[in-house]
Structure 1
Amino acid sequence: MFKRILVPTDGSDITSHAVDTAISLAKIHGAQLLTLSVMEPFPYSAVSEIQPVPPQEFIDAQLRVATQRVEAVCATAAAQGLSCRAHTVEALHAWEAIIDHAKAEGVDLIVMASHGRKGFAALLLGSEAQKVLTHVELPVLIVK
């Protein structure tokens, strides 16, 4: 039924449950597994000269962490005999990046955690999962 499954990751514990679910579904359906980690853009401001971290150092750190996250998903998949394609992308809003990536890759299912690292702010602003559900026309499986 599903041919391409996307599992976004932020490296949180709850995301690991979504990864396990996505891997199981991909194996059952013979689907291709894709994973995505969204990096935050550098917080440029009018006083960027006094930023505690230089822009390139910030960008390099974001890329390093995002790469580690998607590599961990692919390693988990590989341990279960499943190949995985990993992607990282920089975006202001993770939910938009997830939807855009799903459309660009022809994904027919998104498997994601009910919440991630955003904590209390997610309660006030709405979780990334909720925003994906609100704006995407693809099936989405939310894992708690």
Structure 2
Amino acid sequence: MFKNILLPVDGSERALKAVETGIELAAKLEAKVFAVHVMPPLSTVSFMSELLQHSDCHREVAKTRAQSYLDEVAKRAIALNVPCETEFVFDLRPDVAIVAAAAKHHCDLIVMRSRGSEGLERVLLGSVPHKVMLCCNTPVLICQ
């Protein structure tokens, strides 16, 4: 049925619960998982500041944090003998990056947490999972 499952991860407990669900499903279906973490790109001011200071401080901290989230997914996948690939991407729109990752890896299912944005932003703009469902032809399993 499903052979390639995308697992967007942001480091939250809720996202890790969705990851667990996705990995367990992949183990039962003998599927492969792809974990993706979306980071916002540096603003122009931050980028220029780092460039002038010859410092990759902010960018390296963000990459290290992203890699730790992805390593946790890989560790959980290995525990259940599920093949896993990971990547982080830079995009201001997590929903667009998630849909692109699903297409890139030929995923036939996306398993993700129930909320992406909070408060007023969610009311005005919609949640990340909602946006993914609206603009993606791939089935999306939303986990509480």
Deviation at 1:69, TM superposition (A): 0.6
The answer (yes or no) to whether the contact 1:8–1:36 under 8 Å persists in 2 is yes
Amino acid at match of 1:42: L
Aligned: 1:103 with 2:90: no
Amino acid at match of 1:100: A
The answer (yes or no) to whether the contact 2:9–2:37 under 8 Å persists in 1 is yes
Deviation at 1:37, TM superposition (A): 0.4
Deviation at 1:54, TM superposition (A): 8.1
Write the mapping of 1:1-144 to structure 2, written as runs, cut at 5 A.
1-45=1-45, 49=49, 56-116=56-116, 118-120=117-119, 121-144=121-144
Per-residue Cα deviation, 1:2-58 (whole angstroms, up to 9, x for no partner): 010000000111111101110111011110111000111112249x65xxx987222
The answer (yes or no) to whether the contact 2:18–2:143 under 8 Å persists in 1 is yes
User: % of aligned pairs identical?
Assistant: 33
Separation in 2, partners of 1:10, 1:123: 20
The answer (yes or no) to whether the contact 2:6–2:33 under 8 Å persists in 1 is yes
TM-score between the two structures when normalised by the length of structure 2:
0.88
**Secondary structure at the residue paired with 2:56?**
helix
Amino acid at match of 2:76: T
Amino acid at match of 2:83: S
Aligned-residue CA RMSD in angstroms?
2.1
Separation in 2, partners of 1:33, 1:85: 7
- More helix per residue: 2
**Unpaired segments of 5 or more residues in structure 2?**
none
The answer (yes or no) to whether the contact 2:24–2:80 under 8 Å persists in 1 is no
The answer (yes or no) to whether the contact 1:8–1:112 under 8 Å persists in 2 is yes
Moved over 3 A (4+): none
TM-score between the two structures when normalised by the length of structure 1:
0.88
**Unpaired segments of 5 or more residues in structure 1?**
none
